[in-house]
Chain A
Amino acid sequence: MASKFWTQGGSDTEEESSDYDSENEDMGPVDNDAQTAGNRYLSVNASDSEDSDTQKRVVRSAKDKRFEEMLATVDQMKNAMKINDWVSLQESFDKINKQLEKVMRVMESDKAPTVYIKALVMLEDFLAQSLANKDAKKKMSSSNAKALNSMKQKLKKNNKQYEELINKYREHPESEEEPEDEEEEEEEESDDSEIEDPTKLDVSDQEEGSEVDEALDSQESGWKLKMSKKDSLLVKQFRDPKEATWEKVNKWFKEIVAARGRKGTGRYEQVEQLTFLSQVAKTPAQKLEILFSVVSAQFDVNPGLNGHMPVDVWKKCVQNMLVILDILMQYPDIVVSDSVEPDENESEKGPEYAGTIRIWGNLVAFLERIDAEFFKSLQCIDPHTRDYVKRLRDEPIFLVLAQNVQDYFERAGDFRAASKVALRRVELIYYKPQEVYDAMRKLAEQTEDNGEEAGEEPKVPEEGRVPTMFLVTPELVHRKPTFPENSRTFMDALVSLIYKYGDERTKARAMLCDIYHHALLDEFSTARDLLLMSHLQDSIQLMDISTQILFNRAMAQLGLCAFRVGLIAEGHGCLSELYSGGRVKELLAQGFSQSRYHEKTPEQERLERRRQMPYHMHINLELLEAVHLICAMLLEVPNMAANTHDAKRRVISKNFRRLLEVSERQTFTGPPENVRDHVMAATRALTKGDHESAFNAIKALDAWKLLRNKDSVLEMLRANIKEEALRTYLFTFSSSYDSLSVDQLNKMFDLSEAQVHSLVSKMMVNEELHASWDQPTRSIIFHEVEYTRLQALAFQFTEKLSVLTESNERALEAKIGGGGLELPMRRRDNQDYAGGATSGAGKWAEGGLSFNQGRQGSSEGRSGYSGRAYGMGQGGGYSRDRAGLVRGAGGYSSRAARGSHMDGSGRMVSLNRGFRT
């Protein structure tokens, strides 16, 4: 929203033309005022050409008077030119000729003053330009056209007298003026409607300060183009601080602001002018008002949505914001809000004014915009360059600003706004592991010293330039960041504020960041509980895309975390959804994947590009894929071994199965190259129960070096592989054995006796393995319960029958709606429960189960096996879990679907929405 708002200025062009006239009418009186008010100074400046001694300013000779009249007329002419009003131009021309006589008389010279010549040149140019523009000529009103023609004649006649002077002038426009200044002028002339080259302008930014004064000395300074003229006029106006009044500053301010977004208004110039104005402002309120405009003008500097704000402008912008905060700190009576329409003269009230002063402004919007620009700049800069690193170093500056803004809001009692700001801070911190966080802290402390200077740089010279600064703002808010030792405490403080005061979206985002951060710190259970308690899985598909991306990121990180702490099934549950569509990159906004089936329109592509995560926030995809596949392998390999009869029945990871099929189809298998190859090699070893080579294949992956606690993770992995290898081995070869001794298994799988015992017992209890222990001999006795083919088929048949019955019951229920059946009764219970769950805070038990058994739930739910649970009467508790499962899984997958298509095709999105609503 903010960006839209701010960019309006740039795209206002079509409005502009219609507003043009009326605005000029508005400007008319203002300009006249300016003449009357500024007369004194103009005349003084005129006299400067002969005598630059300022002491004489007070003396007002007749000569000066004449001169100043002439200048006024020139001004009028310029105005007329602007609106292409030849009638008034003609009048002014007549007037200036009359004045010329007087001036000549007074000055007692026969040479026409340069001002006059300049006016002539200007007129001539303008005339030629207008004549050349045939279209415009045709559109002119008849009186205007007539005036134009007569002007043409008059000017031709008139100019003959001064031909020599004009030519001379044209050759050396302003003899006294500095050559650079002239260049600048030309530049501005040539491309004042375009965006100027930032670097160049920046140079001129610095220079102008010093130059302006010199340029001032020449009376011709009024001859610049409109804006630059104004600029120097401005400086002229306020050359002496004592002379500046609130009204004057205000008037100029209004004028400059009115020019915003108009064609021909240089964006940088506007920033310049406003910055200057802000220094001469009389009251704190006024300074504040102007500074707000400076900041918004700085936002205007970059017109497009795709580019980013130049870095130096960004930095200045941050500095301005800090000054704003200084003022607000110094004068707590000043209230900034965007809801009240302040009085015209609200800012006149000085610091001694007792009541509150209201100023229009929205600090949160500004801050968010600054953050957005920072984000965008990181998106645009190539991450492999030094620029990127340099840009990243600006992060602490922003954090300082955000901290100050947040403090301000907290002081002001506006916790809603404070929570928004806190979210921005959270979003900068959440993805940083403790190491990175420490590095940032160190950096912030390091740059303290030189950062002080760097931060002051734009300020100090300015202050130097205006020694008697109108309003000195002491630096009240701290300029260096204070970070708590531990990133977690930092997060906690911010997040709890947001939970307390934030709105829905802010809270959801903060929650996701919180989850991400917990996951980053290997606190899986905390992160999981947060996720389940917040019900974000259910509602995420209704949120905006960037939040969905954040959700995906949090899920990915949660999956990684689960893996790191050794929870394989949970890890797989988190990651499998991300990988089900094969569009991980898109889901995490870390790149684009080409789709074979539909082309993206450029518009979509642009949108997608705008959503991309900056490089430093990326989750390493290789690691993610490795973790996902390893989790899938550890779950799927024993599962496949257990269900050799009907391999299709229980598929845990479709993705993994597909990959396995592909790799099995290969005639030759080369040494593993990428992540998949490694995992496939490990899988082949694991299916034979060869845990060592399986582990070695996995250990060879490069991605492990990205893990902080690499060794312990690998150790965990080794243990897991051993266990799964044992299970797979038992499943596969149990039919070949009559009995197996524990010692043998110990040796084979390098596991302790207790582990083997526990694992095998578990399999026995779950009836996965038909065997029992023979305690005195410490061996496993296998029972011959292998079904014959016929028996197995008979079981399948009965299962299908129960599915059929189930669906019959459902059909009947749908038809007659409830009734005496047990099933509907139970279902109603479920609904009750669901209702209770959504109303109660703690629904997470069922969510937790869905979490743990997501895979089972989804697969069984799909094939309709839940009916069996009812039939066997396993109790309501069980079916309750089921309901939760299916619901959780369903919501989740639809999210994934939407997530994956959200940017792809509008068709898919609307389809999904249709389902949901």
Chain B
Amino acid sequence: MAQYDLTPRIAPNLDRHLVFPLLEFLQERQLYPDEEILKAKIELLSKTNMVDYAMDIHKSLYHTEEVPQDMVERRAEVVARLKALEEAAAPLVAFLQNPNAVQELRADKHYNLQMLNDRYQIGPQQIEALYQYAKFQFECGNYSGAADYLYQYRALCTNSERSLSALWGKFAAEILMPNWDTALEELNRLKEIIDSKSFASPMNQVQSRIWLMHWSLYIFFNNDNGRTQIIDLFNQDKYINAIQTSAPHLLRYLATAFIVNKRRRTQFKDFIKVIQQEQHSYKDPITEFLACVYVNYDFDGAQKKMRECEEVILNDPFLGKRVEDGNFSTVPLRDEFLENARLFIFETYCRIHRRIDMGVLAEKLNLNYEEAERWIVNLIRGSKLDAKIDSKSGTVLMEPNHLNVYEQLIDHTKALSGRTYKLVGQVLEHGQTQATR
């Protein structure tokens, strides 16, 4: 199933630290040999300051107690640098840890800066040092500290570029903590900035959006409301464009969100078009499933794809999140996905059929005869389906559902009168304002 693993495509768009959870997941699923993953981890850590952790991994990878010299050196270096940064940022940190002093801060940034400068001799250098310190903390794996410092830095910082990268840092830290609600707030903040900021080149903006979407995957698939939010975010024109241009693999997540989300049917049609368009650049069982159901009407194919989807979901770090429930763990998303996918197939199937054999239907739905019958009866009772069961012949009979001609005509014209009224109202209103003027 490694062929559907998106980690190599997702990782370049993430922060180093964010890749860890993915690697952890992969290790757990054992898609790749353990050694490879450990090596990847060391590689990943080599650029961060989490040297201790890297040493541990090294030990477990090579089963030795020795660590390479460069790691030891690096550790000393990191510690020294941490000390230096800590000192540089000390005055400001001290100030910020003093609750009384912090209360003196006001909403006005310039006032604050002025005040800090005058009364505490904290100038731009110290503020800059705070940023560096926070960044270093982050790289050492101290996410909560980094998040706090970055939050305070943002309150004091005047440089918008810096402020933006501080925001990214905070966002990453919140994800890693993991602190989903705060992270979501940061996400929205970032999104606003990205959308409103004027970038040097459109490419940069697209790149930022792509990063944002990748990072947001952590939040959306860990948040109850995430499946609606992911559609809200990804399905915006600008974001879907970005996906199509540079990161078509994100379509998997959007497709999954659409499938498990029943309320977004209006946007669904457009999304199907997008999938059709992107067929050549990206496909996996999930998008193929949608193509089968909604483009080719190939229901047997859809059945097959559905089974593949299950595997994909289980092996995806975002989709295959496990919930430990007592002794056995479940993947809630998988169950939800399968249920909805089945419904999709059935719905479309019913739309184009007048009479369906129950046995065939049961087979198509991966249910046995009785279950299928019960399922359909429930659907009919919930008036989701306009049908009758002919139990003598063992078939379901669909009621023809095309509209009466007169109804159609009325439908067509109904809106017209409303619009015309509105129009007249406007004309009159306009005339009145003109007259009074």
Which residues of chain A come closer than 8 Å to B246, judged between CB atoms? 842
- Is A833 positioned at the interface, with any CB of B under 8 Å from its CB? yes
For the complex, give the distance between the alpha carbons of A602 and B242 in Å. 51
- Is B270 positioned at the interface, with any CB of A under 8 Å from its CB? yes
Do the beta carbons of A812 and B270 come within 8 Å of each other? Answer: no
Q: What does the 1/0 interface line of A747-771 toward B look like (CB < 8 Å)?
A: 0000000100110011011010010
Do the beta carbons of A776 and B355 come within 8 Å of each other? Answer: yes
Contacts A761-B297, A765-B348, A805-B420 aside, 13 further interface pairs with beta carbons under 8 A come to A754-B298, A758-B297, A764-B351, A773-B355, A774-B353, A795-B408, A799-B412, A802-B416, A812-B426, A812-B430, A819-B426, A844-B241, A871-B415
Q: What does the 1/0 interface line of B198-235 toward A look like (CB < 8 Å)?
A: 00001101100000000000000000000000000000
Nearest Cβ distance between residue B305 and chain A, in whole angstroms?
15
User: Which 10 pairs, one residue from A and one from B, show the smallest C-beta to C-beta distance?
Assistant: A842-B241, A761-B297, A842-B245, A772-B354, A798-B412, A841-B202, A525-B280, A764-B352, A773-B353, A775-B356
Which residues of chain A come closer than 8 Å to B179, judged between CB atoms? none
Which residues of chain A come closer than 8 Å to B298, judged between CB atoms? 754, 757-758
Given contacts A844-B241, A845-B237, A765 and B280 within 8 Å (CB-CB): no
Which residues of chain A come closer than 8 Å to B13, judged between CB atoms? none
Interface residues of A in 877-895 (CB under 8 A from B): 877-878, 880-881
| Segment at the interface with A among B15-23, B96-104, B321-329, B395-403 | B395-403
Interface residues of B in 392-437 (CB under 8 A from A): 393, 395, 398, 400, 402, 405, 408-409, 412-413, 415-416, 419-420, 422-423, 426-427, 430
Do the beta carbons of B202 and A802 come within 8 Å of each other? Answer: no
User: A interface vs B, CB < 8 Å?
Assistant: 525, 533, 754, 757-758, 761-762, 764-765, 767, 770, 772-777, 781, 783, 785, 787, 791, 794-795, 798-799, 801-802, 805, 808-809, 812, 815-816, 819-821, 833, 836-837, 839-846, 848-849, 852, 871-872, 874-875, 877-878, 880-881
- Which of B237, B273, B353 has the most A CB atoms < 10 Å from its CB? B237
Which residues of chain A come closer than 8 Å to B277, judged between CB atoms? 845, 848-849, 852
For the complex, give the distance between the alpha carbons of A843 and B242 in Å. 9
Given contacts A802-B416, A805-B423, A878-B270, A774 and B355 within 8 Å (CB-CB): yes
Which residues of chain A come closer than 8 Å to B117, judged between CB atoms? none
Nearest Cβ distance between residue A303 and chain B, in whole angstroms?
47
- Is B274 positioned at the interface, with any CB of A under 8 Å from its CB? yes
Given contacts A765-B352, A776-B395, A833-B237, A805 and B419 within 8 Å (CB-CB): yes
Q: Out of A758, A775, A852, which one reaches B353, CB within 8 Å?
A: A775
Nearest Cβ distance between residue A773 and chain B, in whole angstroms?
4
- Is B281 positioned at the interface, with any CB of A under 8 Å from its CB? yes
For the complex, give the distance between the alpha carbons of A820 and B238 in Å. 26
Do the beta carbons of B297 and A762 come within 8 Å of each other? Answer: yes
Which residues of chain B come closer than 8 Å to A801, judged between CB atoms? 413, 416
- Is B2 positioned at the interface, with any CB of A under 8 Å from its CB? no
Which residues of chain A come closer than 8 Å to B415, judged between CB atoms? 802, 871-872
- Is B266 positioned at the interface, with any CB of A under 8 Å from its CB? yes
- Residue pairs across A and B with Cβ atoms less than 8 A apart, 8 shown, are A772-B353, A772-B354, A801-B413, A816-B430, A820-B426, A833-B237, A872-B415, A877-B267
- Is B336 positioned at the interface, with any CB of A under 8 Å from its CB? no
For the complex, give the distance between the alpha carbons of A764 and B273 in Å. 18
- Is B144 positioned at the interface, with any CB of A under 8 Å from its CB? no
Which residues of chain A come closer than 8 Å to B300, judged between CB atoms? 754
Q: Out of B244, B420, B422, B426, which one reaches A844, CB within 8 Å?
A: B244
Do the beta carbons of B267 and A841 come within 8 Å of each other? Answer: no
User: B interface vs A, CB < 8 Å?
Assistant: 202-203, 205-206, 237-238, 240-242, 244-246, 266-267, 270, 273-274, 277, 280-281, 296-298, 300, 348, 351-357, 360, 393, 395, 398, 400, 402, 405, 408-409, 412-413, 415-416, 419-420, 422-423, 426-427, 430
Q: Which residue of A lies closest to B434 (CB)?
A: A816
Which residues of chain A come closer than 8 Å to B273, judged between CB atoms? 849
- Which of B241, B267, B281, B420 has the most A CB atoms < 10 Å from its CB? B241
Q: Out of A773, A783, A798, which one reaches B413, CB within 8 Å?
A: A798
Do the beta carbons of A845 and B402 come within 8 Å of each other? Answer: no
Q: Which residue of B lies closest to A816 (CB)?
A: B430
Nearest Cβ distance between residue A505 and chain B, in whole angstroms?
20
Do the beta carbons of B206 and A840 come within 8 Å of each other? Answer: yes
Given contacts A525-B280, A794-B409, A772 and B352 within 8 Å (CB-CB): yes
Which residues of chain B come closer than 8 Å to A764, judged between CB atoms? 351-352
Given contacts A765-B348, A821-B426, A871-B416, A842 and B400 within 8 Å (CB-CB): no
Q: Out of B245, B354, B398, B422, which one reaches A533, CB within 8 Å?
A: B245
Which applies to chain A's interface (DSSP): helix, strand, loop or mixed?
A: helix
Nearest Cβ distance between residue B210 and chain A, in whole angstroms?
10
For the complex, give the distance between the alpha carbons of A757 and B395 in Å. 20
Do the beta carbons of A845 and B241 come within 8 Å of each other? Answer: yes
Nearest Cβ distance between residue A301 and chain B, in whole angstroms?
47
Which residues of chain A come closer than 8 Å to B297, judged between CB atoms? 757-758, 761-762, 765
Q: Out of B202, B238, B354, B405, which one reaches A773, CB within 8 Å?
A: B354
For the complex, give the distance between the alpha carbons of A821 and B348 in Å. 36
Do the beta carbons of B420 and A525 come within 8 Å of each other? Answer: no
Q: Which residue of A lies closest to B356 (CB)?
A: A775
Do the beta carbons of B237 and A880 come within 8 Å of each other? Answer: yes
Do the beta carbons of A770 and B423 come within 8 Å of each other? Answer: no
- Which of B203, B246, B412, B422 has the most A CB atoms < 10 Å from its CB? B412
Q: Which residue of B lies closest to A839 (CB)?
A: B202
Nearest Cβ distance between residue A791 and chain B, in whole angstroms?
5
Which residues of chain A come closer than 8 Å to B416, judged between CB atoms? 798, 801-802, 805, 871
Q: Which residue of A lies closest to B244 (CB)?
A: A845
Q: Out of A772, A812, A836, which one reaches B427, CB within 8 Å?
A: A812
Which residues of chain A come closer than 8 Å to B205, judged between CB atoms? 839-841
Q: Out of A798, A799, A844, which one reaches B245, CB within 8 Å?
A: A844
Q: Which residue of A lies closest to B195 (CB)?
A: A836
Which residues of chain B come closer than 8 Å to A783, judged between CB atoms? 400, 402
For the complex, give the distance between the alpha carbons of A450 and B435 in Å. 93
Nearest Cβ distance between residue A843 and chain B, in whole angstroms?
6
For the complex, give the distance between the alpha carbons of A875 and B273 in Å. 15
Q: Out of B281, B360, B412, B422, which one reaches A775, CB within 8 Å?
A: B360
- Which of B267, B357, B426 has the most A CB atoms < 10 Å from its CB? B426
For the complex, give the distance between the alpha carbons of A836 and B240 in Å. 13
For the complex, give the distance between the alpha carbons of A852 and B280 in Å. 15
Do the beta carbons of B244 and A842 come within 8 Å of each other? Answer: yes
Do the beta carbons of A840 and B357 come within 8 Å of each other? Answer: no
Do the beta carbons of B237 and A795 come within 8 Å of each other? Answer: no
Do the beta carbons of A845 and B354 come within 8 Å of each other? Answer: no
Do the beta carbons of A809 and B352 come within 8 Å of each other? Answer: no
Which residues of chain A come closer than 8 Å to B427, judged between CB atoms? 812
Nearest Cβ distance between residue A726 and chain B, in whole angstroms?
14
- Which of A816, A842, A877 has the most B CB atoms < 10 Å from its CB? A842
Which residues of chain B come closer than 8 Å to A802, judged between CB atoms? 412, 415-416
Do the beta carbons of A812 and B352 come within 8 Å of each other? Answer: no
Which residues of chain A come closer than 8 Å to B360, judged between CB atoms? 775
Which residues of chain A come closer than 8 Å to B270, judged between CB atoms? 877-878, 881
Q: Out of B237, B352, B355, B393, which one reaches A836, CB within 8 Å?
A: B237
Which residues of chain B come closer than 8 Å to A776, judged between CB atoms? 355-357, 393, 395
Do the beta carbons of A840 and B238 come within 8 Å of each other? Answer: yes
Which residues of chain A come closer than 8 Å to B352, judged between CB atoms? 761, 764-765, 772-773
Q: Which residue of A lies closest to B301 (CB)?
A: A754
